[in-house]
Structure formats: C-alpha cells, structure tokens
Amino acid sequence: MSILEPACYLLFWILVPPLLPGIINRVKAKVAGRQGPPLLQLYYDLCKLWRKNIVLSTLASPGFLIAPTVAWVATLTAAMLIPLAGAGNINPFDGDVILMVYLLALARFCTAWGAMETGSAFEGMGTAREVSFAVLAEIGIITAMLTLIMHSGSITLVNMFIPLSGSNATLLAIGVFILLLAENCRVPFDDPTTHLELTMIHEVMVLDHSGPPWALILHGAAIKLMLFAIILVQIIFPVSEMPLGQSLLWLAGGVLAVTIAVGLVESLIARLAFRRVPLLLTIGFLFCLFPLLLTWMGMSYE
C-alpha cells in the first residue's frame, strides 16, 4: 500500500466532517424561516479557535489539555477503521470492530476526564449525566455490531456491512439512527445550542475548554457524527457491492440524507425531559436487539 491512500483517508476525515453540522444548521434555519449561519461556519470557527490562547483553571492538571487531544485521536482512529463504501478501509484486520468500539469508549472517557479536571461541580454534574446515559447507548451500539457480525459471519468491518433484508434492515436502521442522535448529543437527547443548567448533558462537560482544545472537541464531534452516518448508510444500502464511483455517490447521498434527517428531527421535535431519555435509549437498544434475535433464529432454522 502506498502512502497516498492513507493520506487521502486522513484528509477526508479531517476536511469533510465539519460540513455536516453546517448542513444541519441550514436545515434548521430553513424550517424556521431564518437565514441561519453559513454552511461553512464550523470551518471558520475552527480556524479562529486555533489562533486563540488557552484559558486554564487553577485546579487543572496537564490532563485537562491531554484529554481532548487523546479523545480526538481516538475518534479519528475509530473513523479510519470504517470502510468507505467500495473504497474499503486502510488496513482491515480481524476484530477491528472491537477496536472501534473501544476507541469510541476511550474518547468518551477522556472527555469525562477533562471535565473533571476543572474541579467544577457543574461539569461533574454533566459528566454524571453523560456516563449514565452512555451505559444504555453503548449496549445498543454493541448489539447493532453483533447483529452485523452474525449476519455477515465476519468480525472485520470491511466484510460486516452486508445490508440486512426486509424488516431486519428497517428495525436496525431505526435503532442506529436513535443511537446516532444519542451519541452525538442531538435533540431529543440533548441540545448542543443550549446553556441552561437543567437541560445540558454533553455541552456542560466542555464549557471550560477554549482555544485549540475546544477546536479539537468540536472537530471530534463532527467526525463522530459522520462515522455514525456512514455506518447507518452502509447498513441500509449495499454500497460495498457497487463499482467504486457509484458506491461513493450512494454513500455521499446517504450521508446527506441522514444529516438532513437529523436537522428535521431537531426542528420538529422538542428535547426530552431527563426521566424520558433512558426510555428512548432502551427503545433504541430494542430496535437493535430484535434484528439480532431474528438473525439468530433464522440461522438456527437453516
């Protein structure tokens, strides 16, 4: 493998994901009848943040700066493992799906670690909320991956994304979409635009970050959103079986459709009360569990 292919994958995951939050904001603005921010607003914000100084709490240790860096690297590495339709991924190996799940868990741990470094009870509250809800979300993610593993008979990501048929595909797609909203702190689980104490979950964990660390957090969130969108598209459409050009077009169109759907959900649905968040996460888990059981039952009857 030449160095050009990994460089192209790396550039893709660095340059393209910040476009997705811009699309979501544009959809929300159109639904509300507003002009809204520019499509490339996040790119401008990232460039501006990289030029700013870092403000540190007197209680913070070097871990306050290390945590967002490790979280960003872990999220980017997990994204690099995801196959891009017919282009595949860089270096597939048995069990890379397990590594992907652990890298996403490491990124969450580092985000919580950075929040606790400030010594703020406010950020500690947000960390407790995030970790509590993450328990149900991670169970759903693992169940979705188990469904794909059982359906494909492989534990390698590049071989796992064989679309399910019939109701299994619909159920799993709904479950993964719910998990996408939860994992990326979108409405109805969280509202990334609010700063009200009683409604904040993820946002409260990163309030004390500034400058380049804050840029890494925003960019990592965009990478994670695209990662889940690409997984969702490849669950529904057999893009890996298409010619390279056609598969990439289908993948791009599917990611755009998922992004627009997220914007519509945020425009038309209100944020849930805290006591209802575990219920919706449980529903997402069940939507992933039923295809797993149906796939297992189908294999047992063969």
| Domain chopping of the chain, boundaries | 16-31+52-301
Rounded Cα gap, residues 279 and 285, in angstroms: 10
pLDDT at position 59 over 90: no
Tell me: the pLDDT tens digits for 261-289? Answer: 999 999 999 888 878 889 999 999 999 99
Query: pLDDT tens across 134-173, in order?
Result: 999 999 999 999 999 999 999 999 999 988 878 899 999 9
- How far is residue 234's CA from residue 228's CA, in Å, rounded to a whole number? 10
Omega before residue 188 within 30° of 0, cis: yes
Distance CA 173, CA 290 (A): 12
Residue-level pLDDT at 60: 87
The CA distance from 111 to 68, in Å, is 6
What is the overall mean pLDDT for the chain?
90
Higher model confidence: residue 2 or residue 115?
A: 115
Judged by average pLDDT, the poorest of 60-69, 148-157, 197-206, 248-257 is 197-206
295 in Cβ contact with 147 (< 8 Å): yes
| pLDDT band for position 198 (cuts 50, 70, 90) | low
**Residue-level pLDDT at 190:** 84
- Residues 184-197, mean pLDDT to the nearest whole number: 78
Q: Where are the alpha helices (DSSP H) in the chain?
A: 4-15, 19-32, 41-50, 63-81, 96-116, 121-152, 157-160, 166-183, 211-236, 244-268, 277-301
Q: What is the pTM of this model?
A: 0.95
Distance CA(117)–CA(137), nearest Å, equals: 24
